[in-house]
Amino acid sequence: MPAAGLPLTPSESILTNTEIAHLSKLFVSQGVNKIRLTGGEPTLRPGLHELLQEMNKLRADGLEKICMTSNGLALHRKLDGLVTNGLTHLNLRLIPTFTYSNSLDTLDEDKFERITRRKGHSAVMKTLDTALSLLRPPPSTWQPGLQSVKINNVLTRSSNLDELVDFVRLTQKHPISVRFIEFMPFSGNKWDKDEMVPYDEALGIIRREFGADNVVPISNEDGDGTSKRWRIKGWKGEIGFISSMSDHFCGTCNRLRITADGNLKVCLFDNTEVSLRDVMRTSPSSDSRRIDDQLMDVIGIAVGNKKAKHAGMDLLAGMQNRSMVMIGG
């Protein structure tokens, strides 16, 4: 969050849990098998457990994965209940301040507080420990348990490139995925091309450290078209790269995003948005068939207009788009 904060969206403009559940059911009926709750911070949302319960009912219709991205500050108190209610995959936006040891509890508290402007490093580490304790192998039939824990890490040259290898070492003894994300231009984030660490440079550092023959690629058979996946031979976890800037993956991207206020974005970098909330709220609530037909028309046009690939980084830096913290979804 910017130090000066941001204007808050009025509560009445945000999708209700009922509206989110309705849209979830509609998208699953059209073949979507994975839903992620992100933000902002989803653990702040009232009724989160009940929302997951509603989504969990959609497994009978084809939903396979219910995911969440969180900063981890409050999650350790809620994670067990969220998993019981259907959460299967967790991404933690972890502050990149590790010094490697056999324990995960090595976060630099001072650096954490400088970056986040708040206390909470012990709470985040407790969340990570709790998440690891809830990991289960993917079952043949669904039962409560996390199937995946990922750590998201935006690499920048001045803040954390020197910690790249330390983060990779976390995958030696822990069955987690550490994903390195290229620094992307959004409104207000002071994007600097010179700060961005390209995917091939980061991978080169890892190969030199651990030996090129020991860094092996992993196929994306699970349908994740956004991450280039690798692992160190013999280690429990894996690493991934989100190369949005240097090597776009637009041709295999299968993501759609609905913002917290109900706008559909077919690409994170496309500032064209269409409101699904307004369709639901301007139609008579008694005519659900008509609402769904209208929603499908709007969604179909938006997806049909999705571009083959997004603009290059220099053009993106000059475009007007929401700040990442205000996109949510």
CATH of the domain at 263: 3.20.20.70
Question: Is residue 2 assigned to a domain?
Answer: no
Total of domains in the chain = 1
Q: What is the pLDDT of residue 134?
A: 92
How far apart CA 258 and CA 265 sit, in angstroms, is: 6
Is residue 254 situated within a structural domain? yes
Range list of H helices, 38-143:
48-56, 79-84, 109-116, 121-133
- Counting as low any pLDDT under 50, the low residues of the chain are 96-106, 311, 316-317
- pLDDT attached to residue 166: 85
CA distance 74 to 126: 10
CA–CA dist 228, 7 (Å, integer): 36
Q: Is residue 7 part of a domain?
A: no
Look at residue 257 and tell me if it is in a domain.
yes
Alpha carbon separation from 75 to 109, 151, 280, 304, 305 (Å, rounded) = 18, 14, 31, 37, 37
In a domain, 44, yes or no: yes
Neighbours of 114 (CB within 10 A): 11
Mutual angle of helices 109-116 and 121-133, in 10-degree steps: 110
Which pTM value belongs to this model?
Answer: 0.84
Distance CA(178)–CA(153), nearest Å, equals: 7
Residue ranges making up the domain that contains 240? 14-327
Give residue-wise pLDDT tens across range 221-279.
655 567 789 999 999 999 998 877 666 656 777 889 999 999 998 877 677 889 999 99
Domain annotation covers residue 318: yes
Residue 9 within any structural domain of the chain: no
In a domain, 5, yes or no: no
